[in-house]
Structure 1
Amino acid sequence: MDIPRADSRARHDLAVRTAPHPYTWIVLVLTIGLMLSDYMSRQVLNAVFPALKAVWNLSDAQLGSFNSVVALMVGVLTLPLSILADRWGRVRSIVLMAALWSLATLGCALSTSYGNMLLARALVGLGEASYGAVGPALIMSIFPAHLRSSLTASFMAGAALGSVIGMALGGVIMAHLGWRWAFGAMAGFGVALVVLYRVIVTEARLAPHLIEQKHGAAPDPMRLAQSARIVFEGLFTSVSARFAYLGSGLQVFVGGSLYAWLPSYLNRYYGMSPARAGVMAAGFVLVNGLGMVLCGMLADRASMSNPNRKWGIAMAYCAISALLLAIALRVSIGNMQLVLIAVAMFVVSGTNGPSGAMVANVTPAAIHASVFATLTLANSLLGMAPGPFVTGFVADHIGLHGALHVLPCVALVSMLMFALGRRHYAGDLERAGRRTGL
């Protein structure tokens, strides 16, 4: 169903399509840079697993706990810390979070035992807990609404690129200088970026560029942020937002499982060494990150005159990834299968950008950090946390190749969630326009 031209939200979107100020692009680059630092600090651990196992005689379960404790802290604390960030100020919150995860990464470099490392990794998770929500909320506040899919996708692509850099660079540094220097290098990059961010980005400098404020459309942020009831209603009143949370989380299940199991798949079925399989898997991750950005840009361009098209585009990404994965798993091992997997990786995370734009469009601007925290929570609890585990559990019974056949089915369920959300989107946009005075 097309959205009427008289829709107030659509008129607002058209009204604010002015060229962003150069300063806002600088803020965007620095904010994505911190996302790189976030995932470099998180994923460098994978590169030093062999060294930690040898030095401290750790079990695989203990090694895995270093990753699990970060995911646990992020999952539990994302929403409450993001609500606090909406009240306290996004810029100050970002600087504090980035400083914490950078210093905690330095703590990893200085750890002398399993317990020390576990505590340091928990602090890394504490620092990272709400950045995936507060970062895009700050970006959304200074760029026109019609760029939201592209901006969200670009921000999320920083996670993919940061993961690749953290693992690749960490491995090189460990080989030449030792595992402590691998952590130390990631910490040093983060601290330098925090200092640069603190100097360049301030609430006062951002104020003239706030889109909602500039057009006289924003509600009083303090009034909204101080009411838990209003925050809750803003997060969940919109039916379309609920389905967007579900659709996004389920599609992340697919992407997260591929991230985790592609190295093992290449090792087991292609006979690649672990090192070569890791390098090729990193290439797939880079393709995935590029796809996030380009798919987000396509969604923005295709929906300029009709925001409702974002839902159809998200559904198309789900359907295409499901089809390509299903075909790839049926063809013989070889180059054709790798090409199909690569193309599937290109589109599988294409829903990240549209999902962020959809939930942002139907929720108050003053709680966007909390909104993105909820989206991050859905992506974690429905996607990143269960995806690799469920795929591995099934693989224990029918093999990894057979287990991957579950992923196209999950992508189709994700498509169904987006289809259901699209039915309510026009009405939710209308209500959001009245609520925020647009």
Structure 2
Amino acid sequence: MAIDPTPLPESAPSWFTPKRLLVFFCAINMINYIDRGAISTNGVNGSPRTCSEINVCSDGSGIQGDFDLSNFKDGILASAFMVGLLIASPIFASLAKSINPFRLIGVGLSVWTLATIGCGFSVDFWSITICRMLVGVGEASYIGLAAPLIVENAPVSQRTLWLGIFHISVPAGVAIGDVYGGLVGSGLGWRYAFFGEAILMLPFAILGYVMKPLQMKGMSNAKIIPWFLNEEFSKKDYSYVSYTLNQLSRFGQDMKALLSEKVYVVNVLGYIVYNFVFGVYSYWGLKVGYNIYQVDNIDLLFGGIISVGGIVGTIGGSLILDRINSTIPNAFKLLSIAIFFGAIFCFSAFCFSNIYVFLVLILIGEILVDASQGPVNLVCLNSVKPSLRPLAMAISTVSIHIFGDVPSPPLFGILQDKVDNWRTSILISTSILFLAAGIWFIGIFLHSVDRYEEDSEQPDMSHLLESEVANGDITSALL
């Protein structure tokens, strides 16, 4: 049976207004990072089994104690999600050109929900590691689509701010996860922390299946999906084989075009180095703080610092870039300056033994380094043409994880095992932030072209969203 290539009819307007769209993506991203924060807490991650010189052994606690994990294996749990993210991100980004993005998100979040439930029922290191891999599929389903949709529907003068608000969900989610994991893990047990996360994500997975479609700039209106094949599939233009080959060919062409953008590549390189350090901070920060300063409520203190620093830094950096004109060179200037001085404050914080001096300096450092979130993602979006934006965000996300915060936790574990000094290990890791500042400084001098309005010949269906905020104020009601 030949496949009918007739495009699907245009959908009715979506229920999503621009502000509801922003809230939707902020919520699912926050739950994702609540999970990241919770798994690193003492209440969920716990402590390893130990034995004294007279062979008196403790059972340990949490995941690390129950499964008797070394620091290296424990660090792998922080990175295992990357497997699912690496495989699924390019697939979701490519399929978004021909399939309703909300259906893709619904599928991904369903996998995420089931995977977190699986974490709660895991019985050993391998079972929980596989479930953590599947969690990455959920992030892959929305991470390449969220930023392009948000930017296309944000008020022109507030694009960086809206991106910043979306990325507030990262530090806010980790901070809430620190508190959530500490309370639920210590009170009910680490398994219940994962069950609670699944309950939080389930409504958004369902919403992904029932929402009306949205079309992104630069994407085709035709949604040609092969459903049936016959014995003559090799002769038909719309067979499974030809469709798959066409998708692979288009992906290869898109990747070639993406990697030819020097501004994009330099921006991602700086982001990789930045995330290498914060992979250490997000996973080992609580244990480093506890072992250096011996503070019992370190979960709450770090949660507060991450939350305040993330919100103030992300909003501040985004507002500054919008105010000085959100061009690519200005974004690189802000990135290099903020990270350089942020690195100084973070490094200095761990040099002091006084807990109060440490808290003040690390808070200032967090504010400065978190100022990067809006600008770095704006560069990713504006340095490529609109049809490449989902793939650009997907590859950026995959890169910063696979080369940044995925290898850094286990490598820090190895470093700490060798050095056996928490302060020395964290100072070595923090110093890498200066390299990120240097890479983004190079970006200032690259020839850059803002490609936001390219592909204007493509059908633009942004009218599916209400235009009520074309020149609106972000401080008004979100719903």
TM-score between both structures, scaled by the size of structure 1: 0.80
RMSD (Å), alpha carbons: 3.2
Q: How far apart, in 1, do the equivalents of 2:305 and 2:79 lie?
A: 23
Does residue 1:397 correspond to 2:419, yes or no? yes
Q: How far apart, in 1, do the equivalents of 2:76 and 2:325 lie?
A: 45
Among 258, 269, 272, the residue aligned to 2:292 = 269
Q: How far apart, in 2, do the equivalents of 1:300 and 1:354 lie?
A: 7
Residue 371 of structure 1 deviates from its aligned partner by 0.4
Give the AA of the match of 1:120.
C
Among 331, 341, 348, the residue aligned to 1:320 = 341
Deviates more, 1:154-163 or 1:308-317: 154-163
Q: How far apart, in 1, do the equivalents of 2:434 and 2:145 lie?
A: 30
Among 93, 115, 119, the residue aligned to 1:104 = 115
Give the AA of the match of 1:23.
T
Deviates more, 1:227-236 or 1:139-148: 139-148
Counterpart position of 1:249: 272
Give the AA of the match of 1:381.
I
Q: How far apart, in 2, do the equivalents of 1:60 and 1:184 lie?
A: 25
Among 52, 67, 85, the residue aligned to 1:74 = 85
Does residue 1:202 correspond to 2:212, yes or no? yes
Q: How far apart, in 2, do the equivalents of 1:177 and 1:392 lie?
A: 28
Among 338, 346, 360, the residue aligned to 2:381 = 360
Residues 138-158 of structure 1 deviation map (CA, whole Å, 9 limit, x = unaligned): 323322555343233322321
Counterpart position of 1:231: 254
Among 431, 435, 439, the residue aligned to 1:417 = 439
Deviates more, 1:320-329 or 1:94-103: 320-329
Counterpart position of 2:302: 281
Cα 1:125–1:193 change in 2 (3 A) is same
Cα 1:249–1:331 change in 2 (3 A) is same
Task: Give the greater-gyration-radius structure (CA).
Answer: 2
Q: How far apart, in 2, do the equivalents of 1:339 and 1:52 lie?
A: 32
Unaligned runs of 5+ in 1: 1-20, 213-217
Instruction: Quote the sequence identity (%).
Output: 20
Cα 1:332–1:354 change in 2 (3 A) is same
Q: How far apart, in 2, do the equivalents of 1:305 and 1:148 lie?
A: 9
Cα 1:173–1:402 change in 2 (3 A) is closer
Residue 417 of structure 1 deviates from its aligned partner by 1.5
Cα 1:257–1:295 change in 2 (3 A) is farther
Cα 1:429–1:261 change in 2 (3 A) is same
Cα 1:326–1:358 change in 2 (3 A) is same
Counterpart position of 2:44: 48
Contact kept, 8 Å, 1:241 with 1:359, in 2: the verdict is yes
Q: How far apart, in 2, do the equivalents of 1:394 and 1:43 lie?
A: 22
Counterpart position of 2:105: 94
Counterpart position of 1:32: 26
Deviates more, 1:30-39 or 1:305-314: 305-314
Contact kept, 8 Å, 2:109 with 2:141, in 1: the verdict is no
Cα 1:288–1:331 change in 2 (3 A) is same
Residues 26-58 of structure 1 deviation map (CA, whole Å, 9 limit, x = unaligned): 011011111122223444434433344565666
Q: How far apart, in 1, do the equivalents of 2:79 and 2:152 lie?
A: 32
Structure that is richer in helix per residue: 1
Residues 386-408 of structure 1 deviation map (CA, whole Å, 9 limit, x = unaligned): 33344444443272322333345
Q: How far apart, in 1, do the equivalents of 2:65 and 2:395 lie?
A: 39
Cα 1:84–1:326 change in 2 (3 A) is same
Residue 241 of structure 1 deviates from its aligned partner by 0.8
Partner secondary structure for residue 424 of structure 1:
coil
Residues 35-85 of structure 1 deviation map (CA, whole Å, 9 limit, x = unaligned): 122223444434433344565666666555443322333244433443333
Residue 124 of structure 1 deviates from its aligned partner by 1.9
Q: How far apart, in 1, do the equivalents of 2:419 and 2:374 lie?
A: 35
Cα 1:66–1:357 change in 2 (3 A) is same
TM-score between both structures, scaled by the size of structure 2: 0.74
Residue 246 of structure 1 deviates from its aligned partner by 0.6
Q: How far apart, in 1, do the equivalents of 2:447 and 2:438 lie?
A: 15
Q: How far apart, in 1, do the equivalents of 2:82 and 2:309 lie?
A: 21
Counterpart position of 1:383: 404
Q: How far apart, in 1, do the equivalents of 2:343 and 2:185 lie?
A: 38
Counterpart position of 1:131: 142
Residues 188-224 of structure 1 deviation map (CA, whole Å, 9 limit, x = unaligned): 111123234544x421xx45xx6x4xxxxx4757799
Cα 1:123–1:341 change in 2 (3 A) is same
Residue 351 of structure 1 deviates from its aligned partner by 1.6
Counterpart position of 2:315: 294
Contact kept, 8 Å, 1:234 with 1:364, in 2: the verdict is no
Counterpart position of 2:153: 142
Q: How far apart, in 2, do the equivalents of 1:132 and 1:261 lie?
A: 24
Unaligned runs of 5+ in 2: 1-14, 46-60, 224-245, 459-479
